[in-house]
Structure 1
Amino acid sequence: MSSTMLCSLTAEKIVWSIRVRAQAVWKGINRRTNDFKGFNIVFIDEQDSRIHAFISEKLSDGFAEDLEEGRVYTLSNFKVHKYKGDENNRAVRNEMHIYFENQTKLKKIDTDVPLIKKYAFDPFGLQDIPKNEVVVTFFNELGKEFQIALKEHNEDKVPIIIASSKVNKYEATGEIYLTNYPATRFYINPNHYSKNISCHVTVKKVDDQCTWYDNWHIKCDKAVTIVDGRYRCTNCKRNLPYPDKRFRICTLCSDDSGVLQIIFPDEEIQRIIGKDVYDLENENREAGSEKRFPPILKAFENRDFIITLIISKEIILKESTVYTAKKLTDPVEMLGDRIPVHPLSPNIEELSMNTVTDPIVNEMSYISPQLLSHQTAPEEERTKYLLRWNLMTMKGMPN
């Protein structure tokens, strides 16, 4: 069974199969009774989509040994539910969530899958941030871990992502502050440069003088070059007898603001034309012109697409002007000029399947910490920080 992207899951059936990475795994504990309620997981896929999954206490023994943060799995035969809107427990902004059933199968993938990133985030927009600083209190072990991790970074201004924090309000002042919950994770100066944006463009030209596919090493997920007449992986330096072949067409696209060089990726080309590289090579052989540029690829010219672009570190640092597309969508599939996404819930609330009432904010990104105090309460330790938002760049931040 082929894998389905998380954004395509619906509540209409249970015959699903997805390939995902467990970004976060935590136990659900009832705060009043201290009873174990089950396991919570945040899964991410290769499109950086995220979804919350829950394994009830009665099924947890069958999956506990296999659950590991960072591990990639194939998950099948599960139920998908849509949030009703009155839940107190929301892990991500996806309107759907997954429930494990008796027939659910969770299979580890022993090799890493580079297409699925180590972590994905859904930061709130700048327009949602009322001010550029917020107090954060990390309790117990997370506070200790944060202090240790912070000491390893001597920079004055350190980018940090806090994921799945809990929002509270001081009764006396009404000031908002953040604290941790079992699902809370922090990432200090993460290697997470790539961002995605979408734009509506017209394909002005498909470069038929460039090679229209790459030789590929599946295990390393890297391109293969020819060295001394043999295929060699650019990553592991091994010679390969038969590399895979993946589409890679170079295009010149434009909108009202100008033109861009954009590379169209293999997965999207296959999805649109319904054929892979080997199919087009066979068509060329049958036509008696093995070296010709396939007409079906040239036919992308003059078509309009909503293109999701990867904004890589190289683009930001102006080391490259060639963009890579992650997703191509026909504007006919759009609603007006906007890409249909899961609607944001007006009440994004605390994580875990426990019964709690405090709302949460999913992610804060690129913030610079300044340690204020470390206090010890009678029954628990807490570490308090003042975090200043780095809204646009690491330059010009408030002192």
Structure 2
Amino acid sequence: MAFNKYDTLSIIDTTTFKWNCRVRAQAIWKEISKETQQCFGINVIFLDDSNNRIHSFVNHKFVEKLEQDLVEGQIYDLSNFKVKKYLGDETYRAYNIKFTLFNEFGEAYESAVLLRKQEPVVIIISVTKITTYEGTVNLTNYSATRVYVNPQHYYVPYLKEK
């Protein structure tokens, strides 16, 4: 009898479809065509109990069936699924950019600055698209974009030292 009946996301690969994982839906967003407003599918970032992440995509054929059952923050048991290698660009890019935060993000930033006058404020933006247009860096948000101001994250003190 196996101690843990679930596979961790760190061992998932393309060799089989007989995986059995317990994961939390960390972020969920629809992929919509700009031209036709048609839904291509649903993207989900899953997180296991070892803090491993995997990006998944639900094809538009299955959106209607699964959309109501997918809830951010919910725990799911996934089994018998196919994994494909990601062939996109994963190049790390570091930029110093000027930016504006609106509404609750701007208020959270302002509060952080007032509370921490002597140390830097760290902002982590997840699930965003970074592009350049005529030499200017642009961030494009999605419905799954999250903005964290001075989060309780193990790497934040290191960033503040830099």
Does the alignment reach a TM-score above 0.5? yes
SS in 2 for 1:62: helix
Question: Identity over the aligned pairs, expressed in percent?
Answer: 38
1:167–1:179 Cα contact (<8 Å) kept: yes
- Higher helix content, 1 or 2: 2
Greater Rg, structure 1 or structure 2? 1
1:169 to 129, 132, 138: 132
Shift of 1:144: 3.0
| Distance in 2 between residues matched to 1:4 and 1:30, nearest whole Å | 34
Match of 2:108 in 1: 149
SS in 2 for 1:37: strand
Match of 2:160 in 1: 394
Q: Which runs of 5+ in 1 are unaligned?
A: 94-123, 196-365, 367-389
Q: Does residue 1:181 correspond to 2:146, yes or no?
A: no
| Distance in 1 between residues matched to 2:67 and 2:138, nearest whole Å | 33
CA RMSD of aligned residues (A): 2.7
The number of aligned residues is: 154
Q: Does residue 1:160 correspond to 2:123, yes or no?
A: yes
Shift of 1:151: 4.2
Q: Kindly report which structure 2 residues correspond to 1:282-297, keeping only aligned pairs within 5 A, or say none.
A: none
Shift of 1:30: 0.9
1:82 to 82, 85, 91: 85
Q: Does residue 1:33 correspond to 2:11, yes or no?
A: no
Shift of 1:168: 1.9
SS in 2 for 1:183: strand
SS in 2 for 1:51: strand
Match of 1:22 in 2: 25
Give, as a single letter, the amino acid of the residue that structure 1 aligns with 2:132: K
| Distance in 2 between residues matched to 1:136 and 1:15, nearest whole Å | 45
2:25–2:73 Cα contact (<8 Å) kept: yes
Match of 1:7 in 2: 10
| TM-score where L is the length of structure 1 | 0.35
| Distance in 2 between residues matched to 1:136 and 1:177, nearest whole Å | 9
Give, as a single letter, the amino acid of the residue that structure 2 aligns with 1:190: P
| Distance in 2 between residues matched to 1:55 and 1:393, nearest whole Å | 35
Give, as a single letter, the amino acid of the residue that structure 2 aligns with 1:37: F
| Distance in 1 between residues matched to 2:50 and 2:143, nearest whole Å | 26
Shift of 1:34: 0.9
| Distance in 2 between residues matched to 1:165 and 1:136, nearest whole Å | 14
Cα 1:152/1:63, change in 2 over 3 Å: farther
Match of 2:70 in 1: 67
| TM-score where L is the length of structure 2 | 0.77
Q: Kindly report which structure 2 residues correspond to 1:167-246, keeping only aligned pairs within 5 A, or say none.
A: 167-171=130-134, 174-193=135-154
1:39–1:57 Cα contact (<8 Å) kept: yes
| Distance in 2 between residues matched to 1:184 and 1:82, nearest whole Å | 23
1:137–1:180 Cα contact (<8 Å) kept: no
SS in 1 for 2:129: strand
2:122–2:159 Cα contact (<8 Å) kept: no
